[in-house]
Amino acid sequence: MEKWYLMTAVVLLGLTVRWTVSLNSYSGAGKPPMFGDYEAQRHWQEITFNLPIKQWYFNSSDNNLQYWGLDYPPLTAYHSLLCAYVAQFINPDWIALHSSRGYESQAHKLFMRATVLIADLLIYIPAVVLHCCCLKEISTKKKIANALCILLYPGLILIDYGHFQIMYNSVSLGLALWGVLGVSCDWDLLGSLAFCLAVNYKQMELYHSLPFFCFLLGKCFKKGLKGKGFVLFVKLAGTVVASFTLCWLPFFTERAQALQVLRRLFPVDRGLFEDKVANIWCSVSVFLKIKDILPHHVQIIVSFCLTLLSLLPACVKLTLQPSPKGFRFTLVSCALSFFLFSFQVHEKSILLVSLPVCLVLSEIPFMSTWFLLVSTFSMLPLLLKDDLLMPSVVTTMAFFIACATSFSIFEKTSEEELRLKSFSVSVRKHLPRFTFLPRIIQHLFIISVITMVLLTLMTVTLDPPQKLPDLFSVLISTELTSANPPLLLRKTGPELTSVPIFLYFICGTPTTAWCAKRCHVRTQDSNWQTPGRQSRTYT
Amino acid sequence: MRIKWVECAALSVMAALSVMTGGGSWFLALALGVTLLKCLLIPTYHSTDFEVHRNWLAITHSLPISQWYYEATSEWTLDYPPFFAWFEYALSHVAKYFDQEMLNVHNLNYSSSRTLLFQRFSVIFTDALFVYAVHECCKCVDGKKACKELTEKPKFILSVLLLWNFGLLIVDHIHFQYNGFLFGLMLLSIARLFQKRHMEGAFLFAVLLHFKHIYLYVAPAYGIYLLRSYCFTANKPDGSIRWNSFSFVRLISLGLTVFLVSALSLGPFLALNQLPQVFSRLFPFKRGLCHAYWAPNFWAVYNALDKVLSVIGLQLKLLDPKKIPKASMTSGLVQQFQHTVLPSVTPLVTLICTLIAILPSIFCLWFKPQGPRGFLRCLILCALSSFMFGWHVHEKAILLAILPMSLLSVGKAGDASIFLILSTTGHYSLFPLLFTAPGKKNLFLIGWKLSTSLAWALWKSSVNLYSLSPPGS
C-alpha cells in the first residue's frame, strides 16, 4: 500500500506506548509469598525447563500445583519452554528449580518485558496491520487511523505490559485475529489452523469458537454439501484434528495425562463466579443469592442454557448467510454472551470481547469507542492494585483522542450510522414519535464518561465508608446502571462483599440486539454469487 | 493523598481538553498526544540534572539573593543567568506544597516520589509555552498549495516535527532539563521576526539570553539581521544597502530594550558587586575543551587524531613516554587537558575558529538580505558553527540547530533532505545521555526509529509536494 511509512510510524508509536507502560510496576511486585502473575509466568519457565513433560500438569514434590500450577493448554507450556531456553542462556539463576522462587531483579524484569514485546511484534501487530490493509471501501488514511486506534487500545496494553497478565494475551488474540483474517479472505485452512493454535494457547478462545464453526459450516453449505462443500468440510475437520493432535501429542500417551490437563484447564469445581466481575451472575446475586439457592450442577446447566440461548440467533443467521461482515459482528455477539452468562468468568476476559469490537471499529465507530472505553474502565480496580493509575488514564485518553480525531465520532451519530435504523423503524411503527434515539445515546455517552471520571477520582482520592468497603468497585461496575446509586446503597448492607452490576448488561443487550438485527439485514455479497470463483477480497 | 489530587487535577484538565479535540482539531490532538506521552515517561531514568534543578530550587527558596551565586554546598552550583534563578524561585513556591524537604539545601540527592512528580510535571507544564510558539510558527509557514491531504500540509508537518521532536523529548523528559519553554521563547521570537514584529522578537531574544546564555551562539545572527533589516528601513533596487535610510530611533529603541532587560536581570547583582562571580559561574572556562561525553564536533575529531598520532608515535619510538601528560581525554572527567602531538587549544582559538566559520553567513546576511528566511538560515549556520568549534560544547546543543531547521525544512525539498541527515545524526548523538538502565536504551531505539521514520515520511511528502515548486526564498 502507499504511505507505508505512515503505517510504520503508527506501529512504532504503538511500540513506544507499550514499552513506556512496561516501565511501571507489575502485578505482585515485591509481595511474598505468592507474588503475582509475573511470578507465575517465571515459575512456568522454571517448571517446563527443569521437569519432563509428563510432570508438567501433575502435583509432585518438584511441582507444587498450589503455587501457580500450570492451567493453560500445552502451547503456553511450549512457549514458556522457549523463553526458558533463552533465560538459561542469559542467566540460569532465573529459572533454577526451587531456588529461583520470587526472583526479582531489573535484568529479569527487562527480559520478561522483552519477551512480551517480541511476541506482540511477531504475532499481534502484523495481524492488526494486515487487517487494516485488507479493509475495503475506505481510504488509506482511514485504514492507518484504524490501525492506530486498534494498536492504542488501552486494555490490552495495560494488562500485558502493565499488570503482566499470567498469559501473553497478545499471542492468543493475535492468533485468533490471524484466524479471522484467513477465514475472511478465503484461506480457510490456514485460518482454522491459526484459530486452533489460539485455542491451544488459551482455552478461553473457545469464546470465539462458535462463530468460526458457524461461518465455516455456512461456507460449506453454500458450496453444496454434495460437492465442494463436503470436500472443504473434510479438509477443515482434518486441519483441526491434526493441529490438536500435534499440540497434545505428548499428552496422548496416557489417558490420565489428558484428563489431568483437562481438569487443570476447566476447573468446574470453582463455582459460578469469583471476585467482582461485571456479568449477569454477580449482578443477580445482589438480589438473589444464586450461589446458595441452586446446587452446583444446576448452576452449570443454567449458565450453559442461558449462554446458548443468547448466542443462538446470531450463529444460526451466520450459518445460513455467511459473510465476513456478519462474521465479525457475530464474534462480538458470541463473545459478549459468553462473558455475560458463562461460568467462572474473569475480569480480563473482557479482552476477548474487545478484540472483535476493535475489528468493527471502522463500521460503528461511536459505539465501539464507547464500549472499548468502558471495558478499559471496568478493569480499573485490578489496575489500581498495581499502581497503574497514571498509565491507565493516559492511555485511555490517548485512545479517546485517537478515535475522536480519526473517526469524528461525535458527528456521526445518526440512526443510519449507528446501525439502529431497522430497530428504530420497527419501534416507530408503534410509537410514531420515537425519533430521538441518537440524542438519547449521545446523552448516555456523556453521562457515562462523566461517571467514569468521577468514579476514578473518588476511588483514588477518597477512602470508602467503613460499612461498605467495596463501595467503589461496586460503583465502577454500576456506572451505566439506570438504578440510582443511593437505592443500591440502601439495599446493600454491611455484609456486602462483591456486587458488580449491570454495566455490560446495559451496554451488552443493545449490542446483542443490534448485532442480531444487523445480521438480519441482507448482506448482498457479490463474492458468493459465482461458486468456484474464489475472490480474495474482504467485504 | 496530595499527590493524587494533583495527578487527578492535571489529568482532568487534559481529559477536558481531549473532549474538545473530539471536534477534530488536529493541532490540539497532536499537542495533547505528545503531552500524554510525556506523562508516560515520568517513571523513566533521570540524570544528575534532576538533582541540579532540585538543588537550585533549594538555593533560591531558602537563601537570600546575595548568596545565590556563592552557595556551594552541593557540587551543582548555580550557573545559569538570573532570570532562570528567578524562574526556579517561582517554581519553589509551588514545590513547597508537594514536598517541603526538597527545598532544604543540605538534602543532597533527595528524590522522593513527590519530588519526582513535581519536577516532571513542571517540565510538562512549562512546555505549554513551546506549544504556543509552535502554533505561532505554523502561521508563518506558507500554505499556498491547496492540499486536501492533512499529512501533506506544511503546517501539519511542521507541528509534528516540532511538537514530537524526539531529541527534545529525550533531553527534557527523560534526561531532565527545562529546554522546552526556552526553545519556545526562541521559536516565538523567530515567529515574531517573520511577522515583522521586530521589537517583540528582539525583546523575547533578550529575555531568552538571560534565561540561558547558550543562546549567545546565535546572537550574531539576531544582531546583524536587526541592524541590517530593521535599522535600515529601505534598500536600493538591487538589494544593497541604502545608507541614508538609517533610522537612529529604531537603533536606540532596540538598544534600550536590550539594556532594560539586562538591567532587570543583572541589576541586583551589580548593586551587590557580584558581577565577576556571576560571570565566572556563567562562563567556566576552566572546564576543559570537551565535555565529559564528547559532543560530535571538530574538537572531538581533533582529540581523536591527537590520540592516534600519540599512539603511533609511541609505537615508532618517536615520542618519549615520560613526556606524555597523565590526564586522559577519555576518562570521562571534566578538566583541562594538554594535547600531546598537535598544538593545544585555548578558548581564544575556539572563538577565532567559530568566528571564521560564522563569517560567510554573516556577510550574506549583511550584503544580500533575503528577509526572515535568510535570517533563519544564518541563525542555523551560527548554531552549527558554534557547535562545531565551540569551547566545552554539550551534545544537547545540537537541538539549537535542529529545531530552527525544522522551520526551513517544510519550505524546500533541498532543506528537507539536509534536515533528515541533521536530525538523524543529531538525535543519534544524544545516545550517551541514556547510558544507564538498559530498558531505556530500547525505548530510545524505538523512539529514534519512530522519529526517523516520521522525518523520512514527511520528507517524502514534502518532496512530492514541492518537486514542482521553483526554488523559492
Q: Is a pLDDT exceeding 70 seen at residue A18? A: yes
**Contact: A20, B32; criterion CB under 8 Å:** no
The region of weakest confidence among A29-38, A248-257, A378-387 is A29-38
B-interface mutation test, from A1, A18, A23, most B Cβ less than 10 A away: A23
**Contact: B446, A16; criterion CB under 8 Å:** yes
Tell me the sheet residues that pair with B241: B235
Question: Which of the two residues, A180 and B290, has the higher pLDDT score?
Answer: A180
Contact (CB, 8 A) for A68 and A43:
yes
Half-sphere exposure of A74 (CA within 13 A, CB side): 20
pLDDT tens digits, one per residue of A464-497: 555 444 555 555 554 433 222 222 222 222 112 1
What pLDDT was estimated at residue A470?
55
Nearest C-alpha neighbor of B253 from the set B231, B284, B236, B270? B231
The string of DSSP letters for A262-326 reads HHHH--TTS-SB-SS--SHHHHHHHHS-HHHHS-HHHHHHHHHHHHHHHHHHHHHHHHHS--HHH
pLDDT band at residue A427 under the 50/70/90 scheme:
low
Contact (CB, 8 A) for A87 and A46:
no
CA distance B370 to chain A (A): 35
- Which of B24, B40, B437 lies at the smallest CB-CB distance from A394? B40
What pLDDT was estimated at residue B211?
93
B21 and chain A in contact, CB less than 8 A: yes
pLDDT band at residue A22 under the 50/70/90 scheme:
confident
- Which of A5, A109, A405 lies at the smallest CB-CB distance from B24? A405
A139 and chain B in contact, CB less than 8 A: no
CA distance A289 to A280: 12
Q: Which residue of A has its CA nearest to B34?
A: A398
Query: What are the chain B neighbours of A110 within 8 Å (beta carbons)?
Result: 438-439
Kindly list the distances between the CA atom of residue A215 and the CA atoms of A204, A529, B152, in Å, as whole numbers in the listed order: 19, 17, 42
pLDDT tens digits, one per residue of B77-115: 888 999 999 999 999 998 888 888 888 888 788 878 888
- Which of A3, A23, A402 lies at the smallest CB-CB distance from B43? A23
What average pLDDT does range B186-207 have in this prediction? 93
CA distance A449 to chain B (A): 10
pLDDT tens digits, one per residue of A329-365: 889 888 888 887 877 777 788 889 899 999 988 888 8
A12 and chain B in contact, CB less than 8 A: yes
**Contact: A398, B33; criterion CB under 8 Å:** yes
What average pLDDT does range B157-185 have in this prediction? 88
Nearest C-alpha neighbor of A392 from the set A155, A169, A170? A155
**Contact: B1, A461; criterion CB under 8 Å:** yes
Nearest C-alpha neighbor of A443 from the set A482, A484, A402? A482
Residue position matching grid coordinates 516520589: B113
Query: What are the chain B neighbours of A391 within 8 Å (beta carbons)?
Result: 40
What pLDDT was estimated at residue A340?
79
CA distance B374 to B365: 7
Q: Is a pLDDT exceeding 60 seen at residue A456? A: yes
Q: Which residue of A has its CA nearest to B3?
A: A461
What average pLDDT does range B217-234 have in this prediction? 87
Tell me the sheet residues that pair with B290: B393
The region of weakest confidence among A34-43, A430-439, B179-188, B298-307 is A430-439
B32 and chain A in contact, CB less than 8 A: yes
pLDDT band at residue A26 under the 50/70/90 scheme:
low
A439 and chain B in contact, CB less than 8 A: no
Average of per-residue pLDDT values in chain B: 80
The number of residues making up chain B comes to 473
Q: Is a pLDDT exceeding 50 seen at residue B277? A: yes
B-interface mutation test, from A2, A25, A397, A453, most B Cβ less than 10 A away: A397
The CA-CA-CA angle for residues B409, B415, B420, to 5°, reads 75
pLDDT tens digits, one per residue of B285-318: 666 666 655 677 788 888 888 888 888 888 887 7
CA distance A412 to chain B (A): 11
A461 and chain B in contact, CB less than 8 A: yes
Nearest C-alpha neighbor of A399 from the set B263, B151, B29? B29
pLDDT tens digits, one per residue of A200-258: 998 888 889 989 999 999 988 888 877 888 888 899 999 999 999 998 888 877 777 77
The region of weakest confidence among A161-175, A234-248, B1-15, B265-279 is B1-15
CA distance B305 to chain A (A): 38
CA distance B187 to chain A (A): 26
Query: What are the chain B neighbours of A457 within 8 Å (beta carbons)?
Result: 8, 12
Q: Is a pLDDT exceeding 70 seen at residue B180? A: yes
CA distance A500 to A497: 10
**Contact: A17, B8; criterion CB under 8 Å:** no
Residue position matching grid coordinates 566559520: B357
Q: Which residue of B has its CA nearest to A457?
A: B8
